[in-house]
């Protein structure tokens, strides 16, 4: 039996978690800064930088959406990096894009700089979401692989939380640049520490680099008695760790089989089931309406807690973070399927409560529905779709399937964000009385996508 070494616990895992943290950071970095970043004047602040960037709401929407376009673009081509050049190199490239993009935002003089910066951050985030889940899976002892995989989503929600905390102190003209400086510094640290990090042992073994895989395994794992794995034996002589590698590579007919392309994932019969599973999981996640609920959360909870309106958004994010922890401790006991079933069931019920409460103006019920939905989503629908990608995919197809799944995730996210307000207004009626109807639509979409998912998973 084996467990993580100190090097893995305090070096590799924190380094890997910085990438999804940056993604979460980028998701909400503009939410509280919009009024501070955009303006119609041109006054100068510290070091000769303008206090804000002149733009209207349309220009701000363009800046915001550039992140999604960058993420989608990176997801489509991520497998062309992760397969030939390795997991570690892809993480480093992701950090470079995030760092350069954040630096552009921190020094932005125009809308063009903001758009380019957000696009580059999106590219970094897209690469990170494609490579981190399989990377975490491939370095994890089998007994705790699922729990370790939760770290990806946990890092995302912590990134969102940190951004909102910084927003409280920096959401004013001139000070907003400090938020992006913080992200830039993190990216630089990620690149510097990355020089001392390891490559995935499964990737090394699949590319006929078994001596390097043995050396890496000796750094990553120790036996339960605390002794390290000898570098001359390591991965292939410790039963628990050997099973981890064999589980990753057993679908390969031979180690020389080339990585699958995106096209082959659609054409190869043995890859169709994994393709259906990862795609439907991402659909269920995004069609649940999580982004719409988060959009509504501040308005809903502010009515229930009028004296604490400025802390409402932060409170919802804190709930999101707290409820991402339980799967770490129960996932291995109950399994991914059962946890997802509880999460989907709770999400459906809370969406119905939220829709009814909004239609009949029951503020307290709307607040409860919002918090319960966020909790149920964070418990399963949030983290597990990322975890199952390496679990249901043969090693040679993990990168291609990750690209497909994450591209679908970004695309549906973009479509939901684009259509949410028009849908809400259309379904609410001419007088806006039935504002909760849009959540009934999300309930139906979640039911359909979840039933399809569980038929294959």
Q: Which CATH number fits domain 255-457: 1.20.1250.20, 1.10.357.10, 1.10.3720.10, 3.30.565.10?
A: 1.20.1250.20
| 449 against 206, higher pLDDT | 449
Whether residue 267 contacts residue 396, with contact meaning beta carbons closer than 8 Å, is answered with no
Asked which of 109-113, 289-293, 315-319 is least confident by mean pLDDT, the reply is 289-293
User: What tokens does 35 get?
Assistant: 């009024």
Q: What is the spatial distance between Cα 170 and Cα 182, in angstroms, rounded to a whole number?
A: 11
Write the pLDDT tens digit of every residue in 20-42: 999 999 988 887 787 788 876 66
Q: What is the pLDDT of residue 280?
A: 94
Whether residue 104 contacts residue 120, with contact meaning beta carbons closer than 8 Å, is answered with yes
pLDDT of 250 above 80: no
pLDDT of 297 above 70: yes
Q: What is the spatial distance between Cα 243 and Cα 237, in angstroms, rounded to a whole number?
A: 10
pLDDT of 91 above 80: yes
Tell me the pTM. Answer: 0.85
Please report, to the nearest 10 degrees, the dihedral formed by the alpha carbons of residues 49, 95, 159, 347 taken in order: 130
Helices (H) and strands (E) in the chain, counts: 22, 4
What is the CATH number that goes with domain 1-201+238-250?
Answer: 1.20.1250.20
Q: What is the pLDDT of residue 429?
A: 85
- 364-386: average pLDDT: 91
Intervals of CATH 1.20.1250.20 along the chain: 1-201+238-250, 255-457
User: For residue 118, what are the contacts with CB-CB under 8 A and spacing of at least 6?
Assistant: 26, 63, 64, 66, 67, 70, 101, 105
Whether residue 323 contacts residue 364, with contact meaning beta carbons closer than 8 Å, is answered with no
User: What tokens does 122 get?
Assistant: 């999106």
φ/ψ of 223, rounded to 5, equals: -70, 165
**SS3 assignment for 184-198:** HHHHHHHHHHHCCCC
Q: Can you give the length of the chain in residues?
A: 457
Q: What is the spatial distance between Cα 251 and Cα 270, in angstroms, rounded to a whole number?
A: 10
């Amino acid at each position: 039996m084996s467990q993580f070494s100190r090097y893995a616990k305090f070096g590799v895992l924190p380094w890997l978690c910085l990438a999804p943290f940056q993604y979460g950071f980028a998701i909400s970095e503009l939410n509280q800064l919009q009024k501070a970043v955009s303006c119609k004047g041109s006054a100068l602040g510290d070091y000769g930088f303008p206090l804000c960037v002149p733009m209207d709401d349309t220009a701000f929407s363009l800046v915001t959406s550039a992140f999604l376009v960058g993420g989608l673009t990176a997801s489509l081509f991520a497998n062309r990096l992760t397969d030939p050049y390795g997991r570690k190199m892809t993480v480093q490239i992701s950090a470079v894009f995030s760092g350069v993009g954040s630096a552009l935002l921190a020094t932005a003089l125009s809308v063009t700089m903001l758009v380019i910066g957000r696009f580059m951050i999106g590219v970094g985030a897209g690469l990170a979401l494609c490579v981190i889940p399989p990377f975490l899976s491939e370095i994890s002892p089998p007994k705790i692989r699922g729990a370790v995989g939760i770290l990806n989503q946990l890092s995302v929600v912590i990134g969102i939380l940190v951004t909102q905390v910084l927003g409280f102190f920096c959401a004013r003209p001139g000070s907003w640049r400090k938020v992006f400086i913080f992200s830039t510094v993190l990216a630089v640290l990620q690149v510097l520490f990355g020089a001392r990090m390891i490559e995935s042992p499964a990737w090394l073994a699949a590319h006929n680099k078994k001596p390097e895989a043995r050396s890496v395994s000796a750094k990553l794992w120790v036996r339960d008695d605390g002794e390290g794995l000898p570098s001359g034996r390591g991965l292939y002589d410790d039963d628990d760790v050997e099973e981890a590698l064999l589980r990753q590579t057993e679908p390969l007919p031979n180690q020389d089989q080339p990585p699958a392309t995106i096209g082959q994932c659609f054409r190869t019969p043995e890859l169709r089931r994994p393709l259906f599973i990862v795609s439907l999981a991402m659909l269920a996640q995004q069609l649940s309406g999580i982004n719409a609920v988060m959009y509504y959360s501040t308005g809903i909870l502010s009515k229930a807690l009028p004296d604490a309106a400025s802390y409402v958004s932060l409170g919802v994010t804190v709930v999101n973070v707290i409820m991402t922890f339980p799967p770490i401790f129960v996932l291995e006991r109950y399994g991914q399927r059962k946890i997802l079933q509880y999460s989907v069931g709770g999400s459906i019920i809370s969406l119905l409560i939220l829709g009814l409460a909004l239609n009949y103006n029951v503020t307290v019920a709307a607040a409860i529905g919002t918090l319960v939905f966020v909790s149920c989503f964070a418990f399963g629908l949030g983290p597990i779709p990322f975890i199952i990608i390496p679990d249901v995919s043969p090693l040679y197809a993990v990168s291609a399937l990750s690209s497909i799944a994450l591209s679908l995730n970004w695309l549906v996210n973009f479509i939901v964000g684009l259509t949410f307000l028009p849908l809400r207004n259309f379904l609410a009626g001419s007088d806006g009385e039935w504002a909760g109807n849009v959540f009934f639509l999300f309930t139906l979409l979640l039911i359909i996508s979840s039933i399809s998912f569980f038929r294959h998973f």
